């Protein structure tokens, strides 16, 4: 996010303001009060006696609450110390803001306090792309409330502002006049409520906010959330701080989509992705499984409900496909964007089956696996029936919505992320390698589910045969013999897109790597072209498109590295997994425990600190989940039957750690470990069974 | 009342079993408005077995809107979510059923009218 902005959030609602607490949004500026992909306040400016205020300090009290200490701006370096203002703002379904004016004089004083309120009701897509509005605006002054409204046909959105103290209302805001005693104070509480109004005047949001309604118990909810998670104890304070930050941010990023009732699943991240994403929700739920399995349960249920059931080119929907993204703004409502929901991704569908299997292995929740058997089978069917666009036995992608669909339907979704060594960009369809790994893993795990829960051993056998054939085919077609690694993708002609990339790490996680090739793959992952000292780069140094601050062509992504480390563990490379974990966790210390989406791929010895990618989302769900997955990986936590296996391989710097009360089918269990792995330099082949 | 929506429910009452709704046991009512008149279709779903009547009885989920809106949703030209956000479809009760009943609708095979 941009420097000098203050953001607080709760689920799907967030407020971004300047350090004074004011909002003065332009058409393309991401400040304001946002809820369900719509801006509900674009102007919110406080003046006292006609003067703007300046900030003395800004305290982030909680992720949902901030306090601003302000004084009237004099235009000079001198501060008029006779008056100061405290603004305390908390997000709930909208926000509440307490404004307190303090008189520091020994005489009484009369003050005029004014808050200006205005709204453009922009769709987040419009803020991104600076589009024109098609509806009309009205402002209503009503019984002490100020109501800002936007209407387009039957689409109606409103923002209501109310106050606890009497005010004079006008179309641009509200004004208070108060006489304050010597050394006295005056306070009012303002309440801002956004509403999505549906047919018949019904409010659409799950927890409809009202002007007079009680404050949602966010603080109590956060305490419950933290109390349910395992407790981390140990020698290293920074690791404990990162762990706590991750749990709190994950709580902040939970949100209840309109159809999930009170259940919540992880949203993707601020500022653009505060919505339901197939890929992000699944990967974050996987990372968080040992710490909070409920996220996975909700993700499986909600994404299962929304699974595609027909062919729709506008939404890139197929039967069995798991959604990519759901949006709730005006452009989705009028189908000027396909996000109601949009299905254009090639990985969430196999990942859905992987999450279901992993969820059952941890929790023993066989009911969910039986209830959603149809969905899991439809997802497995999608892999062969709809995703094999080239008829060569591989998942590939090419959008059918040429206008507003997504070109790149894998996690590296920027235009230049998939390239040959020489920098050329392949045409479509594209079959990226990690998709084949996910397909393999989905079939293997689907086979276990079919055998143990669906009573269909014949289907299980078939899936295992298909998986074995896929693995053999993949190892023949994707292996770049002169490089000793797997190609990033196959192009439309079935030829190798031969750049060296972090995607090969996901292949380890999936188990599709032939055993005798694992050493070579790990050698590349930990070698100087991919490993920066902080983590594994998205694209290897030396490739034509390599750029240490290119979004998917050289930066280091914490989430990517967390799955790579899991893959290293899967193939027995415990020390390498510890090394990758240690690098990213070291980087987390530079961001106060909150890992950004991505940081620069510069050599660690060159920069000494990790350089944050300029417009990276933060907090972002799968970066928030990365430290959790690293903890699982380093402790070697693995459900085996009804038991939890613990097999730690921790970097020396971590010292002793204890993860207590890990939830699962065993009830609660503790894991202990001590840092014994020297990660200061790459060791020779340290593979252990 | 005639048209695609009414025809769809006539067909549905003969379909009897829908495998995609096997985990569902619930009632869903559709209130279809046309020129000041409202017709009702009540679908009782029992583990995927479906019975449709014209009863106006309480249901776990009730969807209401103009016939043209239902025609568009059932024909695959409009998703229920977009209709809900646009304010042309009213939903009361369990919103999960709104999503799941969409599996009953045939769709168009290509992109809808936009």
Q: Does A133 touch chain B (CB under 8 A)?
A: no
pLDDT average, residue stretch A204-208: 61
A310, B114: Cβ pair inside 8 Å? no
pLDDT at A253: 78
pLDDT at B93 over 50: yes
Supply the mean pLDDT for chain A. Answer: 90
Mutant choice from B48, B81, B109, B110 vs A, greatest count of A C-beta within 10 A = B81
Q: A53 near A133, Cβ under 8 Å?
A: no
**Nearest-angstrom CA–CA distance, A682 and B15:** 64
Query: What interface predicted TM-score (ipTM) does this complex get?
Result: 0.92
Cβ distance of B92 and A202 shorter than 8 Å: yes
Distance, CA of A560 to CA of A601 (rounded, Å): 13
Lowest model confidence (mean pLDDT) among A307-311, A365-369, A447-451: A307-311
Residues 6+ positions from A248 with CB-CB distance below 8 Å: A63, A222, A226
pLDDT tens, residue by residue, A335-348 = 999 999 999 999 99
pLDDT of residue A129: 66
In this prediction, residue A617 carries a pLDDT of 61
pLDDT in tens, A364-402: 999 999 999 999 999 999 999 999 999 999 999 999 999
Q: Do A310 and B100 touch (CB under 8 A)?
A: no
A547 within 8 A of A416, measured Cβ to Cβ: no
Min CA distance, A211 vs chain B (Å)? 22
Q: How far apart are CA A649 and CA A567, in angstroms?
A: 14
Q: Chain A closest CA to B91's CA: distance in Å? A: 8
Total CB pairs under 8 A between chain A and B: 101
pLDDT in tens, A220-240: 888 888 999 999 999 999 999
What residues of B are in contact with residue A332 (Cβ under 8 Å)?
Answer: 81-82, 85
- Residue A640's φ and ψ, nearest 5 degrees, are -130, 110
Mean pLDDT computed over A524-544? 97
Calculate what percentage of chain A has a pLDDT beyond 90.
75
Q: Nearest CA to A472 among A497, A436, A501?
A: A436
Nearest CA in chain A to B76: A312
| CB-based contact B21:B45 (threshold 8 Å) | yes
Band of pLDDT at residue A612, cut at 50, 70 and 90: confident
Provide, as residue numbers in chain B, all residues whose Cβ is less than 8 Å from the Cβ of A401.
111
Give the pLDDT of residue B16.
80
Per residue in B13-57, pLDDT tens?
Answer: 887 888 889 899 999 999 999 998 999 999 999 999 999 999 999
Instruction: Identify the H or E element spanning B70.
Output: helix B67-74
Q: Which residues of A touch B79 (CB under 8 A)?
A: 315, 335, 340-341
Q: Which residue of A has its CA nearest to B80?
A: A340
Q: What is the pLDDT of residue A268?
A: 61
The pair of structure tokens assigned to A567 is: 């893959």
pLDDT band at B106 (very low <50, low <70, confident <90, very high): confident
A334 close contact with B: CB closer than 8 A? yes
| Residue of higher predicted confidence among A271 and A77 | A77
Q: Which residue of A has its CA nearest to B77?
A: A312
Quote the crossing angle between the two packed helices A558-570 and A626-635, to the nearest 10°.
20
Count Cα atoms within 13 angstroms, Cβ side, for A386.
27
Identify the band that residue A142 occupies on the pLDDT scale cut at 50, 70 and 90.
confident
pLDDT higher than 90, residue A194: yes
Cβ neighbours for A86, distance < 8 A, ≥ 6 positions apart: A67, A68, A69, A70, A98, A99, A100, A102
For position A540, what pLDDT does the model report? 98
Under 8 Å CB-to-CB from B11, ≥6 apart: which residues?
Answer: none
| B chain contacts of residue A313, beta-carbon cutoff 8 Å | 110-111
The 3-state secondary structure of A464-485 reads HHHHHHHHHHHHHHCEECCCCE
Specify the length of chain B in residues.
114
Please state the φ and ψ torsions of residue B69, each to the nearest 5 degrees. -70, -45
Distance from CA of A561 to the nearest CA of B (A): 35
Predicted pLDDT at A2: 41
Are residues A253 and A12 in contact, defined by beta-carbon separation less than 8 angstroms? Answer: no
Residue A333: enclosing H or E segment and its boundaries? helix A330-333
Judge whether A209 and A195 are in contact, CB under 8 Å: yes
A586 vs B2 pLDDT, higher one:
A586
Do the chains contact at A198 and B79, CB–CB below 8 Å?
A: no
Work out the average pLDDT over A660-672.
Answer: 97
Across the interface, whether the CB atoms of A309 and B98 are under 8 A apart is answered no
Of the candidate ranges A266-270, A301-305, A424-428, the one whose mean pLDDT is the lowest: A266-270
Reply yes or no on whether the pLDDT at A37 is more than 60: yes
| pLDDT for A5 | 74
Residues A546-563 as b or e (16 or more Cβ within 10 Å = b): bbbbbbbbbbbbbbbbbb
Cβ–Cβ below 8 Å for A311 and B110: yes
CB contact under 8 A, A154 and B88: yes
- CA distance linking residue A367 with residue A360, whole number of Å: 9
Q: Which residue does chain B place closest to A205, by CA atoms?
A: B85
pLDDT reported for residue A1: 36
Residue A256: per-residue pLDDT: 63
Secondary structure (DSSP) of A111-122: EEEEEEEE----
A134 C-beta neighbours (distance < 10 Å), count: 12
Q: Which residues of B touch A (CB under 8 A)?
A: 19-20, 22-23, 64-65, 76, 78-79, 81-82, 84-92, 94-96, 98-100, 102-103, 105-112, 114
Residue with tokens 């009863």: B55
The mean pLDDT of A622-639, rounded to a whole number, is: 97
Of B9 and A129, more confident:
B9
| Residue-level pLDDT at A221 | 80
A607 DSSP 8-state letter: H
Q: Do A198 and B110 touch (CB under 8 A)?
A: no
* Cis amide bond preceding A271, omega within 30: yes
The pLDDT value given to residue A158 = 96
Q: Does the structure show a pLDDT above 60 at A214?
A: no
Q: Any chain B CB within 8 A of the CB of A331?
A: no
* Chain A nearest C-alpha distance from B19 (Å): 8
Which of B81, B92, B107 has the CB atom closest to A340's CB atom? B81
Q: Are A20 and A46 in contact (CB under 8 A)?
A: yes
A63-75 confidence digits (pLDDT tens): 888 999 999 886 6
Of B20, B99, B109, the CB nearest to A259: B99
How far does A547 lie from chain B, in Å, by closest CA? 39
């Amino acid at each position: 996010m941009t420097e000098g902005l203050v953001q607080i959030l709760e689920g799907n609602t967030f407020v971004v303001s300047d350090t004074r607490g004011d909002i003065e949004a332009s058409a393309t500026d991401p400040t304001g009060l946002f809820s369900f992909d719509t801006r509900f306040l674009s102007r919110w400016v406080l003046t006292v006696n006609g003067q703007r205020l300046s900030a003395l300090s800004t305290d982030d009290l909680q992720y949902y609450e901030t306090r601003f200490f302000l004084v009237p701006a004099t235009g000079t370096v001198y501060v008029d110390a006779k008056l100061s203002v405290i603004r305390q703002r908390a997000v709930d379904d909208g926000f509440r803001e307490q404004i307190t004016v303090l008189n520091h004089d020994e005489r009484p004083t009369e003050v005029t306090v004014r808050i200006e309120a205005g709204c453009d009701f922009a769709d987040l897509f419009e803020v991104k792309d600076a589009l024109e509005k098609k509806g009309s605006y009205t402002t209503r002054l009503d019984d002490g409330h100020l109501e800002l409204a936007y209407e387009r046909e039957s689409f109606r959105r409103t923002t209501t502002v109310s106050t606890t103290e009497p005010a004079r209302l006008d179309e641009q805001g509200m004004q208070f006049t108060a006489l304050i005693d010597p050394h006295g104070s005056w306070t009012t509480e303002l309440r801002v409520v956004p509403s999505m109004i549906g047919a018949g005047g019904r409010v659409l949001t799950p927890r409809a906010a009202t002007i007079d309604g009680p404050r949602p118990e966010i603080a109590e909810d956060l305490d419950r959330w933290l109390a349910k998670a395992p407790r981390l104890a140990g020698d290293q304070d920074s690791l404990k701080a990162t762990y706590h930050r991750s749990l709190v941010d994950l709580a902040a990023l939970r949100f209840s989509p309109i159809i999930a009732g009170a259940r919540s699943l992880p949203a993707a991240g601020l500022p653009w992705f505060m919505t339901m994403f197939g890929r992000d929700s699944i990967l974050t739920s996987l990372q968080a499984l040992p710490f909070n399995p409920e996220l996975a349960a909700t993700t499986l249920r909600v994404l299962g409900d929304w699974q595609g059931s027909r062919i729709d080119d506008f939404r890139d929907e197929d039967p069995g496909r798991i959604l990519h993204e759901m949006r709730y703004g005006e452009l989705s409502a009028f189908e000027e964007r396909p996000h109601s929901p949009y299905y254009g991704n090639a990985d969430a569908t196999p990942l859905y089956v992987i999450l279901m299997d992993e969820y059952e292995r941890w929790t023993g929740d066989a009911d969910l696996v039986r209830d959603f058997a149809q969905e899991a089978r439809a997802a497995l069917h999608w892999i062969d029936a709809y995703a094999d666009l080239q008829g060569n036995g591989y998942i590939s992608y090419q959008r059918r919505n040429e206008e507003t669909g997504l070109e790149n339907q894998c996690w590296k979704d920027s235009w230049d992320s998939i390239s040959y060594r020489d920098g050329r960009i392949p045409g479509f369809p594209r079959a990226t390698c990690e998709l084949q790994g996910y397909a393999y893993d989905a079939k293997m795990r689907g086979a276990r589910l079919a055998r143990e829960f669906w009573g269909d051993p014949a289907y299980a056998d078939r899936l295992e045969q298909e998986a074995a054939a896929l693995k053999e085919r993949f190892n023949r077609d994707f292996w770049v013999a002169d490089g000793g690694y797997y190609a990033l993708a196959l192009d439309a002609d079935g030829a190798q897109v031969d750049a060296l990339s972090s995607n090969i790490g996901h292949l380890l996680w999936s188990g599709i790597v032939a055993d005798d090739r694992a050493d070579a793959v790990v050698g590349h992952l930990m070698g100087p072209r991919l490993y920066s000292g902080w983590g594994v780069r998205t694209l290897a140094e030396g490739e034509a498109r390599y750029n240490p601050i290119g979004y998917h062509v050289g930066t280091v992504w914490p989430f990517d590295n967390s799955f790579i480390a899991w893959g290293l563990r899967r193939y027995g490379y415990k020390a390498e997994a510890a090394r990758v974990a240690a690098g990213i966790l070291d980087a987390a210390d530079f961001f106060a425990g909150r890992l950004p989406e991505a940081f620069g791929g510069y050599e660690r010895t060159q920069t000494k600190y990790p350089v944050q990618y300029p417009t990276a989302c933060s907090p972002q769900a799968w970066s928030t989940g990365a430290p959790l997955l690293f903890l699982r990986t380093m402790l070697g936590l693995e459900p085996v039957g009804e038991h939890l296996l613990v097999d730690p391989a921790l970097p020396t710097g971590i010292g002793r750690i204890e993860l207590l009360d890990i939830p699962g089918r065993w009830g609660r269990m503790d894991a202990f470990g001590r840092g014994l792995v020297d990660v200061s330099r790459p060791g020779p082949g340290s593979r252990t069974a | 009342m005639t048209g695609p929506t009414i025809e769809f429910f006539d067909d549905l009452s003969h379909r009897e079993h829908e495998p995609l709704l096997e985990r569902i046991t619930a009632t869903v009512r559709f209130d279809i408005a046309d020129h000041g008149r409202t017709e009702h279709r009540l679908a009782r779903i029992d583990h995927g077995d479906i019975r449709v009547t014209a009863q106006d009885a309480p249901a776990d989920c009730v969807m209401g809107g103009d016939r043209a809106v239902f025609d568009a949703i059932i024909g695959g030209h409009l998703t229920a979510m977009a209709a809900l956000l646009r304010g042309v479809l009213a939903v009361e009760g369990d919103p999960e059923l709104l999503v799941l009943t969409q599996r009953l609708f045939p769709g168009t095979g290509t992109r809808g009218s936009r």
